[in-house]
Amino acid sequence: MENQISDDPVAVTDNVPATILVVDDDPDLELLVTQKFRRQIRNDEFHFICVRSGEDALEKLRENEIDVLVTDIKLPGMDGLSLVSRLKTEYPLIRSVIISSYGDMRTIRRALNLGAFDFLTKPIDFDDLGITITKTIEEALVLKRAVHDRERLAAIRRELDIARRIQLSMIPGIFPAFPERGEFEIFGEIITARDVGGDFYDFCMIDDDRLYFAIGDASGKGVPAALFMAVTRTMVKADAVKGLPPDRCLSEANKILCMENEFSMFITVFTGVLDTRTGEIVYCNGGHKLPFIIRGGSGPEPVENTPGIALGVIEGDSLYGLGNVKLEPGDGIILYSDGVTETMNKAGNLFTDKRLRDLLSGQSLEGPRDTVGRVLRDVEEFSRDVPLKDDITLLAIRYNKP
């Protein structure tokens, strides 16, 4: 049974009427069309433009945004087949209906091969005219919406690519970072699960002797997490370069995040300051994974935890405390996000903190770049053929002689 297509108005984007260009040297067709669609014309749902030749049609195509072309095969000058052929190459989003003599299937087939969407035969049936034009308008508008959506998607992809580049430009990425400094080496890397992510690492010299460093992981994914991360990173670093201790840095950032946190997001942060003269690290943990200290001749051990919770959860005083650890020459510290240890393999098993600890066991931190690379290779091998679901972030520091 044939599908019945109603004469109800076709939904048009932004309430713009569908525009139909009718090309026929017979004025009776214009009258027939305006009579059949008088209600849609009156309601400004359909708009018809009628011309008598193919040349006039091309002019109207250049001047107007046409949705559907209805053309007779036989026209003075340029015929309908040539017009349909031009339409396919120059206006591929416009759908066309050709009108031919009854039984002239050879011409109709040629027209369809040239790109015509449908056809009508003379003498034109009133109901067939309505069904055919309405169906063709629906097809034309669906195609235009699809192209519009594709263009919008491409624009979003371009914007996300720009956002990714901006985000990565905020994170130190030039290594060696301090080639003139022999007291320490540092290296970090981020692999995002999406175009932009909620992880960050950061570091800078506060003064001639103190190195600030931090790692963080915002809740959620994508753009919201990236924005929340960027705000947090900036606030923590701004206080750190002023000389505030790590606990104060997290406390001040937490106050602001709790005040303006409509979507109840949170972020874990571990931040510390390395005194390059002594190897002492003063640090504070805001609910993040505890870094491993790697010492020559002994297995990696996590630093002792400090009072503190993820930022943005609750506001209050004295939520964060200080810890300290001392690095001897050759010792190192490696910070990581839970994207490392929660990476999953095809069997559904997690990478785990234990696997990371075992990977680091029995080795001194020969070089931060090598250590980070070794971990990333093991994670990649472990999760082969499994899509990344969370950002992976690593930051490693090796302390040398002062």
For residue range 134-164, list pLDDT tens digits in order. Answer: 899 999 888 888 888 888 888 877 877 777 7
Mean pLDDT is lowest, of 5-9, 219-223, 233-237, 385-389, for 5-9
Query: Between these two residues, 269 and 31, which has the higher pLDDT value?
Result: 269
Please measure the distance between the N-terminal and C-terminal CA atoms of the chain and give it in whole angstroms.
88
- 57-111 confidence digits (pLDDT tens): 999 999 999 999 999 999 988 999 999 999 988 999 899 999 988 778 888 899 9
Question: What is the dihedral sign for C-alpha 110, 116, 117, 123?
Answer: negative
Residues with Cβ within 8 Å of residue 208, at least 6 apart in sequence: none
Query: Domains plus CATH for the chain?
Result: 13-149 (3.40.50.2300), 171-399 (3.60.40.10)
Whole-number Å distance between alpha carbons of 128 and 70: 13
Give 3-state DSSP helix, strand, coil % of the chain, rounded to 5.
40, 25, 40
DSSP state of 350: B
Mean pLDDT of 14-28: 85
Listing DSSP states for 317-328 in one string gives SS----EEEEPP
Residues with Cβ within 8 Å of residue 264, at least 6 apart in sequence: 312
Whole-number Å distance between alpha carbons of 217 and 201: 9
Q: What percent of the chain has pLDDT over 70?
A: 95
Q: How confident is the model at residue 269 (pLDDT cuts 50, 70, 90)?
A: very high
Mean pLDDT is lowest, of 62-76, 317-331, 362-376, 378-392, for 362-376
Query: Between these two residues, 341 and 108, which has the higher pLDDT value?
Result: 341
At position 59, the amino acid (one-letter code) is E
Per-residue pLDDT, 13: 45
Query: Between these two residues, 401 and 307, which has the higher pLDDT value?
Result: 307
Task: Give the residues across from 267 on adjacent strands.
Answer: 218, 311
**Which residue do the tokens 């091309």 mark?**
58
Whole-number Å distance between alpha carbons of 144 and 127: 26
Query: Between these two residues, 33 and 284, which has the higher pLDDT value?
Result: 284
Query: Between these two residues, 185 and 13, which has the higher pLDDT value?
Result: 185
Per-residue pLDDT, 362: 58
Please check the confidence at residue 318 and state whether its pLDDT lies above 60: yes
Could you tell me how far CA 168 lies from the centroid of its own chain?
A: 15
Whole-number Å distance between alpha carbons of 340 and 137: 53
Please check the confidence at residue 4 and state whether its pLDDT lies above 90: no
Please provide the average confidence, as pLDDT, over all residues in the chain: 89
Q: How confident is the model at residue 7 (pLDDT cuts 50, 70, 90)?
A: very low
**Which residue do the tokens 């069904």 mark?**
131
